[in-house]
Amino acid sequence: MASHTTVLGPLKDRLLALAARDERVRAELESDGSLFLGYQPRMEAVHRENAADLRAIMDEHAWPTEALVGPDGAQAAWLVLQYAISDPGFMRHCRALMDEASSSGPVPRWQFAYLDDRIRVFEGKAQRFGTQFILRPDGPELNLLEDPHRVDAWRRAVGLGPVSEVLVRARGLPLPSQEEDETRQSAAEHWRRQVGWATVSTMTPQLKSIDHIHVFVTDRAAAAVWYKDVLGLVPIPELEFWAKDGGPLTVSDVGGKVHVALFESSPATCRSTIALGVGASEFIAWKRHLGEQLQKEVPAEDHEVSWSLYFHDPDGNPYEITTYEHAAVARALRGQN
């Protein structure tokens, strides 16, 4: 990035006008309620025009730093860049510039953090600094975090407050209905592919963990003793009611990180079911995704305290997507009927 020491008034005014145009249209769409119902064509047109103007400015002056256009001019440039979402290549190019500049001083590091998170979310990846959220029917939710345990430390390093403040500030924003939420998510996925943020392969919903593994044993009582003595896995009291009528006895480690479901049956060769754990919203996304990819509906199975989706790979190996956010999924499924 070029170094400047003189504030260019006309250039600053140009940037402030771009930001003002964005804010004016945003306010008009917010007043009629359409702003929160997906990416409005009128808003997208403003973002495209502003991005083109910012690109032209950068071709002549490089990134508009505070030294070049003053604090409010630099803030306006950053705002315009945040909404240049119809031009993935331009945003990625600017991220590299801002990463370098914010590391050496001319640009505040928190501005890079917001841009980096925004790009990661549009690419379908986990965000690092927790700046991005989405409005869901049950309230605002943070987009997936790269590391929930380190996010506040990362935020402090760039001058941001605790991640909890993000959702506090989002309270009071209008929430979508279940139908509006599903329509918006579907439209957003199509748009991301269309403008080049993601290919089909990168659009798959995020997995949270491997939830449990099915193991078939001929004598479950004896196996339970072995799993306790050898692996330190003990039955989960809340799930012991499953261990009847062919159901599993689910055992877990003390920390609740490892779960094995013991089924009493003849051992099956190469047919252990891999169960993958997700949250409620991801469960609904996976149900839709599997229906599209497998070209058939995958029903949600109700296990009273959990929901599961069952399917096989082309070789017949069984898989399960499961969630224990039972009530939230039940509400979502009712909204689809």
Q: What is the pLDDT of residues 78-129, one digit of tens each?
A: 999 999 999 999 999 999 999 999 988 889 999 999 999 999 999 988 999 9
Q: Which amino acid is at 239?
A: L
Cβ neighbourhood burial of 174 (10 Å; 0-12, 13-18, 19+):
exposed
Is the pLDDT score of 31 beyond 70? yes
The alpha-carbon radius of gyration of the chain (Å, integer) is 25
Amino acid 220: pLDDT: 92
pLDDT band at 236 (very low <50, low <70, confident <90, very high): very high
Q: Which two tokens stand for residue 13?
A: 């005014």
pLDDT classification of 267: cutoffs 50, 70, 90: low
What contacts 286, CB < 8 A, 6 or more positions away? 205, 278, 309, 321
Q: Rounded mean pLDDT of 223-229? A: 88
Q: Does 4 score more than 50 pLDDT?
A: no
Tell the burial category of 161 from Cβ atoms under 10 Å away from its Cβ (0-12, 13-18, 19+). Answer: exposed
Residue 25's pLDDT is what? 93
Q: What is the mean pLDDT of residues 211-231?
A: 87
> Has residue 3 got a pLDDT over 90?
no
pLDDT over 60 at 234, yes or no: yes
Looking at residue 269, its pLDDT comes to: 67
Rounded to the nearest 5°, which phi and psi values hold at 247? -80, 175
Whether residue 179 is predicted with pLDDT greater than 90 in this model: the reply is no
* pLDDT value for 315: 67
Q: What type of residue sits at position 320? A: E
Q: What is the pTM of this model?
A: 0.61
pLDDT, position 337:
61
> What span, in angstroms and rounded, lies between the C-alpha atoms of 329 and 335?
10
Mean pLDDT in residue range 279-302: 91
Q: Choose between 270 and 226: higher pLDDT.
A: 226
Q: State residue 229's pLDDT score.
A: 84
Q: Residue 203: pLDDT band by 50, 70, 90 thresholds?
A: low
Asked whether residue 191 carries a pLDDT value surpassing 80, the answer given is: yes
pLDDT, residue 129, reads: 97
